[in-house]
């Protein structure tokens, strides 16, 4: 398995996984925009056969790191891949951020547990954030005092 920056050639597989993984998936234009954005950091995890296992999208805005997306192909879930992939990608991003945050659906137990394991905690709620269902978003954050350090199980 290999972590690489996401490129335009990955988009067909990324879009396929995106539409299987999310209720309200991004369209291809959203990913094209991320690839064109200088403050975006997008990575894929490829199998030895060069098939997509997972992808992740971050945006760096001043000292804030926004986690926009993470998805793992169904057949690879539950093996610790998201946890390891997240930490590995974090190490590729310039160490200028002081905190990271994200939004997650309250019903997304796997997502919430993953983020808790990575050291994120609930910071608040965004009422009615998800327009398709009207669900609130749980906003989770993590402080990186003085820059990057690897998320640990015990954080
Ligand atoms: C959320 C997701 C990325 C997790 O990927 P994964 O590779 O299966 O996650 P990991 O195996 O690294 O699991 C890390 C931790 O998350 C939690 N977790 C993962 N899957 C879980 C599940 N189905 N139920 C409960 N907890 C789960 C566990 O705490 C796990 O740690 P543990 O195995 O030591 O207990 C994956 O389920 C996915 O792609 N979901 C669809 C997209 C999505 O919801 N993304 C997140 C919101 S943006």
Q: How many domains does the chain have?
A: 1
Q: Is residue 132 part of a domain?
A: yes
Q: Is residue 150 part of a domain?
A: no
Is residue 154 predicted with pLDDT exceeding 90? no
CATH code, domain carrying 64:
3.40.630.30
pLDDT at 95: 84
CA 77 to ligand 1: nearest atom? 8
Is residue 102 predicted with pLDDT exceeding 90? yes
Q: In the chain, pLDDT over 90 holds for what percent of residues?
A: 86
For 43, the domain range is 2-143
Q: Is residue 11 part of a domain?
A: yes
Q: Is residue 149 part of a domain?
A: no
- Which carries the bigger pLDDT value, residue 94 or residue 47? 47
C-beta of 70 in contact with ligand 1 (< 6 A): yes
Mean pLDDT computed over 133-154: 77
State in Å: Cα 18 to ligand 1 middle.
15
Cα→Cα distances 143→44, 46, 120, Å: 25, 29, 8
Q: Is residue 8 part of a domain?
A: yes
Q: Is residue 154 part of a domain?
A: no
Q: Is residue 107 part of a domain?
A: yes
Cross-strand bridge partners of residue 63: none
pTM for this prediction:
0.92
Q: Is residue 134 part of a domain?
A: yes
Percentage helix, strand, coil, to 5, in the chain? 30, 30, 40
């Amino acid at each position: 398995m290999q972590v690489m920056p996401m490129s335009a050639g990955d988009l067909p597989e990324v879009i396929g996984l995106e539409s299987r993984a999310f209720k309200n998936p991004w369209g291809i234009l959203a990913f094209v925009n991320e690839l064109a954005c200088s403050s975006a950091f997008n990575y894929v995890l490829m199998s030895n056969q060069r098939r997509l296992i997972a992808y992740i999208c971050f945006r760096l805005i001043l000292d804030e790191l926004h986690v926009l997306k993470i998805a793992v192909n169904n057949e690879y879930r539950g093996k610790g891949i998201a946890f390891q992939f997240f930490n590995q990608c974090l190490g590729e991003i310039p160490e200028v951020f002081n905190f990271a945050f994200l939004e997650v659906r309250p019903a997304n137990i796997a997502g919430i547990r993953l983020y808790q394991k990575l050291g994120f905690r609930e910071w608040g709620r965004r009422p009615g954030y998800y327009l398709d269902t009207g669900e609130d978003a749980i906003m989770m954050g993590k402080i990186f005092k003085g820059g990057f350090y690897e998320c640990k199980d015990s954080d």
